[in-house]
Amino acid sequence: MEFLYFPGCTLYTKAKNLDEAGRECAKALGFELKELSNWTCCGAAFPLAKDNIMALAPPARILAKAKEEGSTLTTLCSVCFNVIKRTNRLIQEDEEKREKINTFIEMDYQGDVRVLHYLEILKREVGFESIRGAVKRDLQGLKVAPFYGCMLLRPAEEMEFDDKEAPTIFEEFLESIACEPVDFPYKIECCGAFQSVGAPEVATECAYAILISALRNGAEAVTTTCPLCQFNLDSKQKEIRERHNDFPGIPIIYFTQLLGLALGLPVEKLEFHRNDVDPRPLLEKKGLL
């Protein structure tokens, strides 16, 4: 199995831990991630204006290049996934926009690349059953709250990812690596997103509400797929503690890091030192290191 891999900018910099672990897990599970050549910015946001064709050029160009190099394109970052998947769908369905975009990027792309998130590859292509069979390190008893955020799920009719109100793919994944998924009402709420730039206290409050709810429901760690969620939940914990002295802190671990841990990969390859709240003391306590 070979899939084209679009890392996106953050995975080369701040979210190297998401990226590295993802690549290592692919090797361990026996599928190849072939990095798309000469990739550029995904566009970072799907345009809200109907006539903003310009903003669709970067993801369209990525898709057109992917068509030259393979048939299925995967991402780890939820934001890239959202932009690329929605652009692909628009190109499939809107003939007029397709023509405009193709004229603009001087390429001919008809929307026939399959766009899958890494989690979907685990579910549909590898299969959670095979993952269960490949587990080398027993994470039994590790209580993890899956945080979906918004980008994987919405808009539901375009993303076709999972039920937008009660998704389960993340829980299924956690069960396949023997973690105990913790259900909590904030799992599909807003992480604060880019409010962390203009109104940081708003994002801090969002993160606090999410994390305190996860803790109250018994979580020992929270897992994410999205570098932006990770930033708001992980890197803002110092600010949260300043505002809420009842907040004890909780490690935020990328799902690929958890997967790598379960697959028995060497811990140094999982780059836990990059997580702001160091998950290693917890993992040590659980006897996992």
Partner 1 sequence: MNRFGVFVCHCGLNIAGTVDVKAVSREIGEIEDVSHSEDYIYMCSDPGQLLIRNAVREKGLDGVVVACCSPTMHEVTFRKAVESEGLNPYVCEIANIREQCSWVHQGDKERATAKAREIIRSVLEKLRGNEVLETLAMPLTKRALVIGGGIAGITASIDLADSGYEVILVERQPSIGGRLDQLSLTFPHLDDARCILGPKKAEIANNPNIRVMPYCEVEEVKGFIGNFDVRIRRKPTYVDWDKCTACGVCLEKCPVESLSDFERGLTTRKAIYTGALSENSGKPVIDPIHCRHLVDGTCTICQEVCPEGAIRYDQGEELLEERVGAIVVATGYDLFPMEKIGEYGYGRIPDVIDGLAFERMLSPSGPTGGEIRRPSDGRIPQEVVFIQCVASRDPERYMPYCSRVCCMYTAKQAKLLKQKIPNSQPYIFFMDVRTDSKGYEEFLQGAIEEEELIYLRGRVARVFREGDRVRVWGEDTLTNRKVELDADMVVLATAVVPSEGIKDIAARLRATVDKHGFLTEAHIKLYPVESPTKGIFLAGCGQGPKDITDTVAQASATASKIQSLFSQDALLQDPLVAFVDPEICSGCGICVQVCPYEAREMDEYRGISKVHEALCQGCGACIAACPNNACELRNSKAVQVFGMMETFAEGAEGSLADG
User: What is the binding site for partner 1 (CB under 8 A)?
Assistant: 163-166, 185
* CB closer to partner 1, 189 vs 276: 189
For residues 132 and 200, what is the distance between their CA atoms, to the nearest angstrom?
40
Nearest CA-CA partner of 173 in 217, 224, 214: 224
- Cβ 199 to partner 1, closest distance in Å? 16
Q: What is the CA radius of gyration of the chain?
A: 19
- Cβ 163 to partner 1, closest distance in Å? 6
For residues 7 and 17, what is the distance between their CA atoms, to the nearest angstrom?
12
- Cβ 148 to partner 1, closest distance in Å? 13
* CB closer to partner 1, 185 vs 281: 185
- Cβ 160 to partner 1, closest distance in Å? 15
Which neighbouring-strand residues pair with 243? Answer: none
* CB closer to partner 1, 186 vs 255: 186
Using DSSP's 3-state secondary structure scheme, residue 252 falls into: strand
- Cβ 165 to partner 1, closest distance in Å? 2
Q: Is 141 left (phi over 0), alpha (psi -120 to 50) or beta?
A: left
* CB closer to partner 1, 3 vs 147: 147
- Cβ 280 to partner 1, closest distance in Å? 32
- Cβ 213 to partner 1, closest distance in Å? 9
If you write DSSP's letter for every residue of 94-128 in order, what string do you get?
-HHHHHHHHHHHT----S-SEEEEHHHIIIIII-H
* CB closer to partner 1, 164 vs 241: 164
* CB closer to partner 1, 118 vs 186: 186
* CB closer to partner 1, 185 vs 264: 185
For residues 263 and 191, what is the distance between their CA atoms, to the nearest angstrom?
29
Task: Say if CB 68 and CB 26 are below 8 A apart.
Answer: no
Using DSSP's 3-state secondary structure scheme, residue 190 falls into: coil
For residues 131 and 263, what is the distance between their CA atoms, to the nearest angstrom?
8
Cis peptide before 227 (omega within 30 of 0): no
